[in-house]
Amino acid sequence: MKTPTPEQVEAMMIEKMGALPQFLNAAKAIDPRFLIEQAMSSKFSVQDEANPFDPKTSMMLMLATSITLGSEECIMEQTRMLKKMGITKEEMAFLVKIVKHAHSSAVMGSAKTAFETFES
């Protein structure tokens, strides 16, 4: 399989998303090969034929991760894509509820060291 050029990747992303995300525009200005790296990462994860999740579930996992990491531009792009895939308000609400629960659980897990140190 021949590696696509940065220009080919950019064209594919624009076709799929309507525009190249700003963070990729900034990365491209430094080194256009970042576009290839981003595309290959997608190819070997969400777009992989061996991915056991359907495209909507994969995108929901990506959105949950982006929410957790606070990547605003990714959140906007992934939400737009999920709307096109037919995500419902109920699914969106539960996605956020699950992310919120996971985040609060992680805080409690991280606090374990503080609790144990305080008690020692």
Q: The CATH number of the domain where 111 resides is what?
A: 1.20.1290.10
Same domain, 69 and 93: yes
Same domain, 71 and 30: no
What's the gap between Cα 95 and its chain centre? 13
In a domain, 49, yes or no: no
Claim: this prediction has a pTM higher than 0.75? yes
pLDDT digits (tens, 9 = 90+) for 11-33: 988 888 888 888 888 999 999 99
pLDDT digits (tens, 9 = 90+) for 72-89: 999 999 999 999 999 999
Closest C-alpha among 45, 85, 84, 49 to residue 65? 45
Same domain, 85 and 28: no
Q: Which residues constitute the domain of residue 28?
A: 1-44
Report the run of H or E that residue 120 belongs to, with start and end.
Answer: none
What separation in angstroms does the CA of 110 have from each of 48, 103, 104, 114? 33, 10, 10, 8
Instruction: Report the pLDDT value the prediction gives residue 76, as an integer from 0 to 100.
Output: 94
> For the chain, how many structural domains are there in total?
2
